[in-house]
Chain A
Amino acid sequence: MADIKLSTGSTAALPKTALGEMIDRLHEMGYHVIGPQIQDNTIVYKTLDSVDELPKGYISQQDAGTYRLVYTGHQRYFDTTPGAQSWKQFFFPPQTDLATYKRDENGRWQTEEQGKDLTPLALFGVFPCDLAAIQIQDRIFLREEWKDPIYWSRRQSALIITVNCLHPCGTGFCASMGTGPKSNPGFDLNLTELEDVFLVEIGSESGRLVMEGLPVLPPSAFWLQSAQKGLDDAKTKMGRSLPHPELLPDLLLNNLEAARWDDVAQRCMSCTSCTQVCPTCFCWDTHDSASLDGNVAKRQRLWDSCFNPDYTYIVGGNTRPNTRARYRQWLTHKFGSWYPQFGTSGCVGCGRCITWCPAKIDVTVELAAIREEVQA
């Protein structure tokens, strides 16, 4: 085995046969490894015990309202693009306890915060769009003035192993959003899957520690060229595109009465699917419950959606009483007002909202239609 110096910023090659060793190494280092696996005819993210659980040999076919896994028997582990799930469930769980409050005999409330599971997570097989989504959620839950304790407790120790996306999905447009198909910085390790080896880009000291002791090879020029060619090809294989996302805030916020809002409202069912599958949507609600004697109270946090009817309810009225208003809020927020709020688009171009919309509504089509209507 050739001697190779591993350091942050360097790239090594790992034989495909050693991928299992990498997963074992993560387990040895104490990580709770989570990776993509097939369940219910789609890809889910759950505890990964062994390399055999990865969706090797499958491809995924996606279009508006459609997701299909197809077995082709190829030898690649990461050809299936994500299903409905994203990684946000691990840092921002769909339902979690905020605290339990117990009233003592003096009528004083004692707060018991939820115990935090401090086992560090290793997110294994994160596509570049989803790393970008995690970085957007970082801006939402980790502020200068406060940090969300649930998010932070899991995020700060998490290891992120990305995989460059050589077989982009039919509904994705990460190239337009600048989030893929090559991973932006922010990973600990970034893999590119070639026929015989993984090229492994080391992004951090934690990532370097994982690679130590693995049977790495120096990356050959051929492999590096193959990876580059694969990424160049991938850019041309995006199923969707969204030109000039940076112009969308003005387009959307200046055209809040466009006729297209009425049009899309006829098709949208306000089902909330797009917001639940979106890896950046962050809205949440609180849910309170109490024991029968009223002395034990529990607060939970649940994912919410701007499509829910009571999302904007206040006594005396509902500021967004219909689907037109709610769809307009979602789209103008995601592609428009997100910029002034968080300094970035709210969209990473993963295409989930298109794939999982039961009405086959395609944000790239809706945005193009508004653009066209305004220019007409």
Chain B
Amino acid sequence: MTTTTSNRSATLTMPSDNELVITRDFNAPRALLFDALTRPEHVKRWYGLRSLTLRVCEIDFRVGGAWRYVLHDPEHDAEHAFSGEYREIVRPEKIVSTERYEAIPDSDYVVTTTLDERDGKTTLTSHLVYQKKEHRDGHIMSGMEHGMNETYDRLDELLAQLL
């Protein structure tokens, strides 16, 4: 399966101080994508990262229902918990939910995910609206920090071997 064409890579824009928009095309009908995004048995199969495994995936998929994901970072034996509630569900085209990084209280942001299908392919658009610019920027920086730590750890290892 090819994933190299340019229209398949995620784009990220910041239309205002406290917004972030992530767009990505998928080679699947939107009903299938909708299920892959909202059913825990599916989410568990893809949501982790090379450096983070999804340890907890709870989804009470109804308006007012809660969700909670816990990502585990084995390298630092640290856990990162994210949770929120579903505000609006329009199967298979739209999900509005709140989301927060539990380590930062009152940092809730609202995520509106829409799925547009065309010729069997689906465009996913996630629109994130934060309370404050600082929260958005913090979210962007969080991933980098993790990556930076990994880089420094590798550098440490390398130096240990060389010295």
A binds B: no
**Residues of B near any A CB (own CB < 8 A):** none
**Residues of A near any B CB (own CB < 8 A):** none
